[in-house]
A and B are shown apart, each in its own frame.
Chain A
Amino acid sequence: MSQLDFLAPTSAEEAARALAASGAEGRPLSGGTDLLVQLRSGRLKPGLIVDLKKIPGAIGIREEGGGFVIGAATPGAMLGEHPSLGRVWPGVVEAASLIGSTQIQGRASMAGNLCNASPAADSVPALIAARATCVIVGPSGRRTAPANEIAIGPGRTSLQPGEFVLEIHLPPRGRRAADAYLRSIPRTEMDIAVVGAGVSLALDADGVITEARVALGAVGPTVIVAEDAAAGLVGTRADDAAMASLDAAVRAVCRPITDKRGTADFRTKIAGVLARRVAGIAYARAKEQK
């Protein structure tokens, strides 16, 4: 029987030291909604669990320089309750709020969603579309990395031993800009995304798209940033023709697998559909953001 220890340090540095000392045996814990399932099923047998929730700032949202800093262990429910986050980054909030049930929302965090490195994680396409960045703490100090550099494959991250994500930063937004996220699941709730799509748009005063970012979940080993698809939106008013080429451009970059949750063919088709729909929502929202 392997020994399992539990620590709840009160500083990020202390947590990093403990994790670094445990090597591959250590696991940071924020919401625990993935970690505990893996623990129980025996898929994961860590020697040390480091609870991040007692670290100052690990739970909470603060506005900083026009953007937002979200603590790593902030549960999804808190994102929805925040007075301004959902107005500025509605797509990020709706993506995070799709993770699991009300009960899961009471615990699950976006940082955990990101570091669990599932290709189907709901909040990740939205974070990547939003150009979110992460503050990573490790034994050699702090560094910052874009959200799309965290996962490098299913269940695998670029984090080094002892490193963990402490904060997620969402940049400031200009006027006439908005994001949105949609996923496709068979039921109404409680499912893992079969496909997810996040789109972030900025418009000029005439309603022409000046900036676009499209991120797709569950259609590749990590979230796919659809550069061509996004570029195709720029200069349009998200009209039918633009949407049709978005659909095609998105399908062209999908590299999904067939598994118990959906076939590759289905996922590719749905990615196009969702991208169109989600771009439409983001566009309508951006026009409202005066």
Chain B
Amino acid sequence: MSKQHITATVNGDPVEFLSEAGATLLDALRDELGLTGSKEGCGSGDCGACSVILDGRLVCSCLVLAAEAEGRRVETIEGMAEGGVLHPLQRKFIEHAALQCGFCTPGLLVAAKALLETNPDPSESETRYWLAGNLCRCTGYDKVIRAVMDAGAELRQARVA
């Protein structure tokens, strides 16, 4: 089975890895690059735990072939905090107790970041629909939605200031 040599940018850094043709981007991130923050909850794009941003678009990395990442830009949960400083979303998730087991949290955070970059002032309903592809079984979503909207408010304020 021939492996393909892939070069891509992950969290701003150039990476290279070998990939089987059927391997997914999620497989490559976890098994080749050791970035296990993206999780596999279903392998079918239904839970969102593997969410990453690919060339600026939110996607499920389990539904992207690793080979498709050639020459592209991937952002994962591992790149969200900058130099040890948590992103406001990460801080707000902790503050609002928006995680219990924490397994869906990386995917939710990546998806929420994509939301706030697209729509800095989402309504509760917009937030809920944007995050509908991220299953969380522990929280009932209440505190997750509050944390995302609160982070949005903080980011808007920071922009004004």
Contacts and interface: CB of A to CB of B under 8 A. Distances in A.
Contact of A103 (B1, B22, B133): B133
Nearest to B43: A40
A190 B133 contact: yes
B105 to A, nearest CB: 16
B57 A4 contact: no
A188 B48 CA distance: 16
Interface string B4-32: 10000000000000001110100000000
A215 to B, nearest CB: 25
A167 B105 CA distance: 38
Nearest to B55: A106
Contacts of A39: 22
Contact of B21 (A6, A41, A102): A6
A240 interface: no
Interface residues of A, number: 30
A206 interface: no
B1 A33 contact: no
Interface residues of B, number: 34
B133 A102 contact: yes
B19 to A, nearest CB: 9
B64 interface: yes
Interface stretch (B65-73, B86-94, B95-103, B145-153): B65-73
B37 interface: no
A41 to B, nearest CB: 8
Contacts of B132: 101-102, 188-190
Nearest to B67: A6
Contacts of A106: 54, 57-59
B21 A189 contact: no
Contact of B2 (A5, A40, A103, A104): A5
B155 interface: no
Contacts of A36: 24, 45, 62-65
Contacts of B68: 8, 29, 32, 51, 53
Interface in A13-70: 29, 31-33, 36-37, 39-41, 49, 51, 53
Contacts of A29: 65, 68
B45 A37 contact: yes
Contacts of A6: 4, 21, 65, 67
A40 B61 CA distance: 13
Contacts of B131: 102
B45 A77 contact: no
A283 B46 CA distance: 35
B67 to A, nearest CB: 4
B20 to A, nearest CB: 7
A53 B134 CA distance: 26
Nearest to B70: A8
B67 A8 contact: yes
B51 A103 contact: yes
B22 A4 contact: yes
A100 interface: yes
Given A4-B21, A53-B68, A104-B45, A37 B111 contact: no
Given A1-B1, A75-B57, A37 B64 contact: no
Contacts of B65: 6, 29, 32, 36, 49, 51
Interface of A: 1, 3-6, 8, 29, 31-33, 36-37, 39-41, 49, 51, 53, 75, 77, 100-104, 106-107, 188-190
Interface of B: 1-2, 4, 20-22, 24, 43-46, 48, 51, 54, 57-60, 62-65, 67-68, 70, 111, 114-115, 129-134
18 contacts: A4-B1, A6-B21, A8-B67, A36-B65, A37-B44, A37-B45, A51-B67, A101-B48, A101-B132, A101-B134, A102-B58, A102-B114, A102-B132, A103-B59, A103-B60, A104-B133, A107-B60, A190-B133
Q: Top 8 closest A-B pairs, CB basis?
A: A101-B133, A189-B132, A106-B57, A4-B21, A6-B21, A106-B59, A6-B67, A103-B60
